[in-house]
Structures are given as structure tokens and as C-alpha cells.
Structure 1
């Protein structure tokens, strides 16, 4: 259980923060950027939920919880030392990726195949989901870059890859199953 008796600690005043294993790193470190962008994604999901139907809200609530799991995973380096930790280390699982895939497949059956790229917009929910998509893509890029330098749980990277696809299909559902999608018209304003 997390207990926060005090919100500010002053330990980050010199530009450093603690990782999940206690190591101190610069606040601009790639690992911190990766899980910070996951947190940013989570905040935008909260905005999207303000416009969601009950079913989509329930799915978005699960995603928000997953994103905290993902942040916990990314903030803890040294995966090979997980067994030595004083408490169980939280890592993303392939079952979380599979759940997203199942939901994406169900949404895909509800929409017509695309014949054009889609511009972000349509309904307020769709616009927010597109923002979630782009921020989650940035989190994925940062996590993939981090994985070229340090160990990163492969399930975490897969989850982020599927998540942006989930947001895309959910935006189409939010746009009346694609009927209100805003289509790109190449060269329309030349």
C-alpha cells in the first residue's frame, strides 16, 4: 500500500529523482522521460473519460490502471534483480497486451475499413482519444529508445504499441463507428 504523509520532499530540488530501486538519476534521464510520458498519457485518458460512454469509460479506467502498472515497470531498472527486491516488483504482463488486442479486434468489427487517413477530430471524445494516441506513441518511442540502452520489459513496449492502436480504433467508435471521422484530403488546400 502507498502512504503519502507529505507531498513535497525537497529531494528533487537539485534536479534529481529516485527510481523504483532507489537509485538517483537526473529528472531529464531517458527512463524518467519514458515513464513521465506514460503519466502524461494517463492524464489525457482522464480527460477522454469525461466524454465516454459507460462501456468505453470502463475500458479507459482499466487502461488508466494499466498505465500506473506501466509507470511502475518503467521506473524500476535492473529486471534481472527483481527477485532480490524487498517487495514484489510490478511488471507489465502479456495478458494486458492480449486484452487490448481483443478489444481492438471487437472495435474493428464495428467500423468500415479505412480508405483514407483520418484527421484528429469529429466528436469531443474522438479528439481526446487522438490526443491520447499521439502521447502514447511518444511514450512508446521513448521506451523503445530506452530499450536500446538499458533493459526494458518487452511486454511494456508491446503494450504501448497496442495502446495507440486501441486509441485509434476507439476514436472511430466515438465518431459513430467511423461515420463522423474527419478524412484527410491530400492537397486539398493547394
Structure 2
């Protein structure tokens, strides 16, 4: 393990820049830093989701904790331009995990709104942040060379979080919140 921080503030970022792991400094509002920050935010949302789960959800917790490690690595990829940590094997694992969790769910017949239970709603929140992370990653990829597996991983992760939210709503004994076109109409 590398050096540990003994002093949290350095004042080097007071000018609006931050240091990348390769030693370069870039603006804190750059797409690269936005991608790093959104990975961190998504990882924090995953932590909230994990902590909202009951003790009986050990299998899902293990999956989500593994995802947290992947997200940390993905943030590291953005901190070191040109690096590749997330690979096809990460995407393959996520796809097989998604298939496993989706196999017992009924087919979708309507749009689902966030809710159903607190853990399901937390899962939807993580999914929404994941989609934003994906959009920022796509934008960064238009400006700089990035690992295309990062984009694919985030796309699969948002799919997995959607499926997990459905599983959680059902396990909590709550109904999924279905979009109802009639509810969209203004009241007289």
C-alpha cells in the first residue's frame, strides 16, 4: 500500500485545481474530475443502500460490496489517465449476477417508479446516480481516450440496480410502484 495521508488538508486545491494520481493537476470542474466525483458519490449511495438492507440480505450485500470495490477501482482509472482496471471480466460477472437476480422476476408490463420500500427506493437512487455517472463517462470519452469497459460496466450496473430494486420491493412485501397514465392527468 502506498503512502497514507497524515494531513488531510494540503491547500494545493485552493486555486481550483486537483492533483491526479499521475502527478498532473487539472481543474476541479473538468469532466475527468466530475467522473471521479460521481464514482465517489455512487459508491456512497451504494454504502447507504447496503446499510438499508436487513441482516437477511447477505447475498445482495456481498454483491453490492464487490460493486463498491469495482467503483473505487473505476474512480482510480479516471485518476490515472490511460489506465485500465475494469475489464471484460467485470462486465461478465455483472451480467451473470444480473441474470441470476432477474430470473425469478415476472416480466415487466409497465414502467416502474422509484419506491416500494425504503431499500428499493435507495436502490433506485443509486441507479439514478449510476446513470449520471454513465452520462459523464460518455462525455469524457468524447474529449479524451477512456476505457470503453468503464462505460459498459456502468450501463450494466444501472440495469442490475433496477433489477435489485424490483427484488427488494418484493422481498419487503411491498408492491412495485407502477406508472399509471391516469395519475399523470391533471385533476379537475
Q: TM-score, normalised by structure 1?
A: 0.90
Which residue of 2 is the match for residue 54 of structure 1? 58
Corresponding residue of 1:145: 139
- The root-mean-square deviation of aligned C-alpha atoms, in Å, is 1.4
**What is the alpha-carbon distance in structure 2 between the residues aligned to residue 17 and residue 122 of structure 1?**
40
**Is the 8 Å Cα contact of residues 117 and 174 (structure 2) preserved in structure 1?**
no
| Alignment correspondent of 1:40 | 41
Q: Secondary structure at the match of 2:143?
A: coil
TM normalised by structure 2 equals 0.91
Match of 1:9?
Answer: 10
The structural deviation recorded for 1:12 is: 0.5
3-state SS of the aligned residue for 1:148?
A: helix
Match of 1:187 among 179, 182, 187: 182
Report how many residues are paired. 180
Cα deviation, 1:83-141, whole Å, max 9, x if unaligned, reads xxxxxx55211111111100111111010000000000011111000000000100000
Please give the secondary structure, in 2, of the residue aligned with 1:17. strand
CA-CA distance at 1:187 after TM superposition:
3.4
Deviations 1:128-171 (A, max 9, x none): 00000000100000000110110010111111111100100000
Q: Distance in 1 between matches of 2:104 and 2:42?
A: 25
Give the drift of 1:24: 0.6
Provide the secondary structure at the position in 2 that maps to 1:66.
helix
Alpha-carbon distance in 1 for matches of 2:105, 2:168: 11
Unmatched 5+ stretches in structure 1: 80-88
Distance between the aligned counterparts of 2:85 and 2:145, measured in 1? 13
2:84–2:147: 8 Å Cα contact kept in structure 1?
A: no
Provide the residue aligned with 1:18 in structure 2.
19
Instruction: Give 1:51 shift.
Output: 2.1
Q: Gapped runs of 5+ residues in structure 2? A: none
Distance 1:144 1:69 in 2: 18
Whole-angstrom CA distance in 1 between matches of 2:6 and 2:34: 26
